C-alpha cells in the first residue's frame, strides 16, 4: 500500500496543479470474493493514502456485482468509509438480466 501511495503522489500533484478542484477517490468491487480482513485493508489503505498524499480521499465508491451476495460487503465498507469521514457511494449500472 505504501508503494502504491508513493506512486500516486507525483500524479496527484500534477493533477492538482492543473485542476485545483479535482476530487480523487477510490472505487472497489463489492460482491466478489474478498479476504476476511478486506474491511481492515480498506481502512489501512484510506489511512496510508492520507498520510502519504497529504489529504483524504474525496470519496469511496463500491462497484457492485449485482448477481452476487454484495450486501454484507457493502455494509462493512460503508461503515469503514463513513467512520473515516469520507463520502460513500455505489455505482449503479445496468446490464444482464436482473435475475437471481
Sign of CA dihedral 80, 47, 49, 17: positive
Write down the pTM of the prediction. 0.84
9-24 b/e (C-beta count within 10 Å ≥ 16 → b): eeebeeeeeeeeeeeb
Length of the chain: 100
Distance CA 50, CA 5 (A): 9
Pair 30, 65: CB distance under 8 Å: yes
Residue 83: which residues within 8 A CB-CB, separation 6 or more? Answer: none
Pair 7, 49: CB distance under 8 Å: no
Domains of the chain: 2-91 (3.50.80)
Tens digit of pLDDT at every position of the chain (100 positions): 999 999 999 999 999 999 999 999 999 999 888 888 889 999 999 999 999 999 999 999 999 988 888 999 999 999 999 999 999 999 988 665 555 5
Amino acid at each position: 500500500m505504501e508503494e502504491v501511495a508513493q506512486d500516486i503522489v507525483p500524479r496527484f500533484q500534477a493533477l492538482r496543479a492543473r485542476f485545483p478542484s479535482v476530487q480523487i477517490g477510490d472505487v472497489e468491487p463489492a460482491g466478489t470474493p474478498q479476504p476476511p480482513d478486506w474491511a481492515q485493508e480498506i481502512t489501512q489503505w484510506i489511512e496510508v493514502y492520507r498520510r502519504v498524499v497529504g489529504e483524504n480521499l474525496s470519496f469511496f465508491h463500491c462497484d457492485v456485482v449485482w448477481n452476487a451476495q454484495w450486501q454484507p460487503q457493502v455494509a462493512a465498507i460503508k461503515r469503514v468509509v463513513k467512520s473515516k469521514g469520507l463520502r460513500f457511494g455505489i455505482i449503479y449500472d445496468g446490464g444482464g438480466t436482473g435475475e437471481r
